[in-house]
Structure 1
Amino acid sequence: MMLFERGSLKVRTLKENDKYLLAKWLSDPLVLEFYEGRDNPFTVQKVMDKFFPLEADEVKCIIEFEHKAIGYIQFYQLDDETKNVYGYGDEITYGTDQFIGEVDHWNKGIGTLLVTSMVQFLLDHKKAYRVVMDPQVRNERAIRCYEKCGFKKVKLLPKRELHEGIYQDCWLIEYGV
């Protein structure tokens, strides 16, 4: 099912056949440097275990650009426990995670187009009050992209994510209305 389209960018829900694309992308060391870890490559079976069956609280999607699947994005409404950790109230807050798996599509503005389009979709169709992400502090390229899209650093989350055997600090960043 198509969620939205903006120019040459399309975001559609995940299909079972996408498991082969995800396994390809999630076994590329360049992609794994910031997403999942180079010590954690994915097989098709591992993709099936992690991404399927689809869960009601996460919407998992494939990113297409110029009719070619190039990446993955998911979004979810934050639960009360996570909102408490972040210091948020009852407002509708969504989180997203994404990566462009086709590395030849990096540094071409597609990430900026994707993030701004997803934020607009969440504001318009899910009535989000804010959208948040928690990239690793060392992922400077992604953070620059998110800041171009209007996200602001809110809080440092020390030792938030286990990545390649080391707990990494992350930034809580938000886009608020």
Structure 2
Amino acid sequence: MTIDDVELLVRWDDDPDVASAIGGRGADWYDWSVELVRDVPWRELLIIEEDCRPIGFLQLVDAHEEESHHWGDIEAGTWALDIWIGSPADRGRGLGAQAMSAALGRAFREHGAEVVVIDPVVGNRRAIAFYERFGFEHVGVREFDDVECSVMRRSRSAID
């Protein structure tokens, strides 16, 4: 991602389905103009593409190292991810599944993750079912930034 992606990301964040998936925060979720120029060693911000056309967002975070300690006291080797398809026209076409496979591969193989965690909003049954299909298991419910989320995890051993 680059600073040139801010307008696209804000538009995606304001999509009702995306806003709902991130706890109703919409474009208030992230200050993209600030975050896209920060270079931190514990995070990757990526645009998901289909045929060189941007279709979604992927964030990979070393959950143990990230500065806000969003995940609390979590073991080293744990990476978190955020992922969504931005445009309604691109949803339901299998692109999210392709992106999730690539994201997990990147976390486990390139970043050496032992565990990947994710935190869908509790009421987002579609996302939870999607993550379950990828081997994520429920850990519990936790409130993140005043939003009740289902904490889910998948270990590297699920693919080895």
TM range (shorter): 0.7 to 0.9
> Following the alignment from structure 1 to structure 2, what is the Cα–Cα distance between the partners of residues 69 and 140?
26
> Following the alignment from structure 2 to structure 1, what is the Cα–Cα distance between the partners of residues 154 and 112?
13
> Following the alignment from structure 2 to structure 1, what is the Cα–Cα distance between the partners of residues 18 and 91?
10
Following superposition, the deviation at residue 56 of structure 1 comes to 2.8
Q: Residue type of the partner of 1:15?
A: T
Query: Which of 62, 69, 74 lines up with 1:77 in the alignment?
Result: 62
Following superposition, the deviation at residue 72 of structure 1 comes to 0.8
What is the number of equivalent residue pairs in this alignment?
151
The structure with the greater share of residues assigned to strand is 1
Following superposition, the deviation at residue 83 of structure 1 comes to 6.3
Secondary structure at the residue paired with 2:21? Answer: coil
Aligned pairs for 1:1-177 within 5 A: 14-35=1-22, 37=24, 40-41=26-27, 46-79=31-64, 85=73, 88-90=74-76, 92-157=77-142, 160-162=143-145, 167-176=146-155, 177=157
Following superposition, the deviation at residue 141 of structure 1 comes to 1.0
| Structure 1, gaps ≥5 residues long | 1-13
Following superposition, the deviation at residue 128 of structure 1 comes to 1.0
* TM-score when normalising by structure 2: 0.82
Of residues 62-71 and 75-84 in structure 1, the stretch that sits farther from structure 2 once superposed is: 75-84
| Deviations, residues 85-143 of structure 1 (Å, cap 9, x unaligned) | 4xx544x1110011111111112221122112211121111111111111111111111
Following superposition, the deviation at residue 16 of structure 1 comes to 1.8
Identity %: 25
Secondary structure at the residue paired with 2:27? Answer: coil
RMSD of aligned alpha carbons = 2.2
Q: Residue type of the partner of 1:66?
A: D
